[in-house]
């Protein structure tokens, strides 16, 4: 059974409720180590009126104790959630755990805490000195993002960077090749409407095709499709042919993914020396500490991923 460090996320949100409520289920598939100290755990338990399981393993020290403020964006919660994440990374680097699972953080809280990263994936790139790849989805469909949290007006310049895009395509294939069926290809999305219509609606597909060719030469096989028309790439017929897709920008890939598989989707960081998964939802401040029954499918899938890989 794999030992997984679970960073606790923003304690003003729903992450700690997910951890407490689902402990009995997840301990049957992985050995969890929760990156929270006993004092903060006790405070959350009392606010939620959820007892702490006797075998709920925690760590000794994370950060300065603070008062949980349900549904509030605070510097203190940002400091603690980042420290919890760093603890999980430290445990993985020391090979004391087999992987990391992260509960949701609030990006503004990180900013208030003076954290310069926009999220977990950005941080992992620097902490491991590796070009982490963000992939989201479920076993039915996964989407990798070539660009992530950048303004839309900057995307086309990134797409025109053929060297960077070709390296991304090579790295992504190498990370998922063992899960591909024989002759299964990866759906590569174009950037423009109608995939450019032969240059009538934009010419970025020229660079996408060039990067694709470089990747295929390096890989020694045709791993990717020609640039697909984005507005039909995720239709039922198209999805019969592909389980994996590469999107050029955030919403191009995640809007259809979340429309189809929001409840069960997870976030996976590839191209790192460790495996990191996360739920594919936020802190849900609107329901935090309100005794609302939580949908746990994303949480369970994020931990099940360690069993299936």
Alpha carbons within 13 A on the beta-carbon side of 83: 17
pLDDT value of residue 251? 95
Q: Is 243 assigned a ligand-binding role in the annotation?
A: no
CA angle (27 as vertex; 21, 284 as ends), nearest 5? 35
- 260 found inside a domain: yes
The Cα diameter of the chain in Å comes to 64
Total count of domains within the chain: 2
Q: Is 250 assigned a ligand-binding role in the annotation?
A: yes
Q: Is 258 assigned a ligand-binding role in the annotation?
A: yes
Q: Is 276 assigned a ligand-binding role in the annotation?
A: yes
pLDDT value of residue 92? 96
Same domain for 236 and 124, yes or no, is no
Same domain for 107 and 227, yes or no, is no
Q: What CATH number is given to the structural domain containing 171?
A: 3.40.718.10
pLDDT value of residue 199? 81
Q: In this structure, what token pair is assigned to residue 303?
A: 């931990």
Same domain for 82 and 63, yes or no, is yes
Q: Is 149 assigned a ligand-binding role in the annotation?
A: yes
Q: Is 121 assigned a ligand-binding role in the annotation?
A: yes
Same domain for 10 and 70, yes or no, is yes
Tens-level pLDDT at each residue, the chain (309 residues): 999 999 999 999 999 999 999 999 999 999 999 999 999 999 999 999 999 999 999 999 999 999 999 999 999 999 999 999 999 999 999 999 999 999 999 999 999 999 999 889 999 999 999 999 999 999 889 999 999 988 999 999 999 999 999 999 999 999 999 999 888 999 999 999 988 778 878 889 999 999 999 999 999 999 999 999 999 999 998 888 899 999 999 999 999 999 999 889 999 999 999 999 999 899 999 999 998 999 999 999 999 999 987
Range of the domain at 81: 1-129+282-309
> How far is it, in rounded angstroms, from Cα 174 to Cα 41?
40
Strand order in the sheet with 99-102: 31-35, 3-7, 99-102, 276-279, 266-270, 133-138, 141-145, 244-247, 187-188
Q: Is 194 assigned a ligand-binding role in the annotation?
A: yes
Residue at token pair 């259809």: 256
- 67 found inside a domain: yes
pLDDT value of residue 198? 80
pLDDT value of residue 237? 86
Q: Is 281 assigned a ligand-binding role in the annotation?
A: no
Same domain for 146 and 160, yes or no, is yes
> How far is it, in rounded angstroms, from Cα 164 to Cα 146?
9
- 182 found inside a domain: yes
């Amino acid at each position: 059974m794999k030992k997984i460090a679970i960073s606790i996320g923003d304690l003003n949100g729903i992450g700690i409720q997910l951890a407490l409520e689902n402990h009995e289920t997840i301990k049957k598939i992985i050995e969890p180590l929760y990156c929270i100290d006993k004092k903060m755990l006790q405070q959350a338990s009392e606010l939620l009126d959820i007892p702490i399981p006797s075998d709920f393993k925690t760590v000794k020290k994370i950060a300065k104790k603070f008062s949980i403020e349900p549904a509030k964006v605070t510097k203190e919660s940002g400091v603690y959630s980042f420290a919890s994440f760093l603890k999980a990374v430290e445990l993985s680097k020391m090979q004391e755990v087999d992987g990391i699972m992260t509960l949701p953080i609030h990006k503004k809280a990180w900013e208030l805490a003076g954290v310069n990263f926009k999220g977990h994936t950005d941080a992992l790139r620097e902490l491991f000195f590796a070009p982490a790849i963000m992939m989201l989805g479920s076993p039915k469909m996964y989407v990798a993002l070539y660009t992530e949290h950048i303004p839309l007006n900057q995307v086309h310049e990134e797409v025109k960077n053929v060297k960077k895009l070709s390296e991304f395509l090579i790295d992504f294939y190498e990370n998922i090749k063992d899960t591909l069926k024989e002759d299964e290809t990866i759906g590569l999305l174009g950037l423009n409407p109608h995939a450019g219509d032969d240059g009538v609606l934009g010419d970025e597909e020229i660079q996408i095709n060039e990067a694709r060719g470089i990747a295929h030469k390096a890989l020694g096989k045709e791993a990717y499709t020609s640039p697909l028309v984005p507005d039909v790439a995720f239709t039922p017929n198209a999805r019969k042919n592909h389980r994996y897709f590469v999107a050029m920008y955030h919403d191009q890939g995640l809007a259809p993914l979340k429309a189809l598989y929001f409840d069960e989707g997870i976030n996976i960081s590839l191209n790192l020396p460790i495996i990191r998964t996360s739920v594919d939802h936020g802190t849900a401040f609107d329901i935090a500490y309100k005794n609302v029954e939580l949908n746990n499918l994303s949480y369970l899938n994020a931990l099940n991923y360690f069993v299936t890989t």
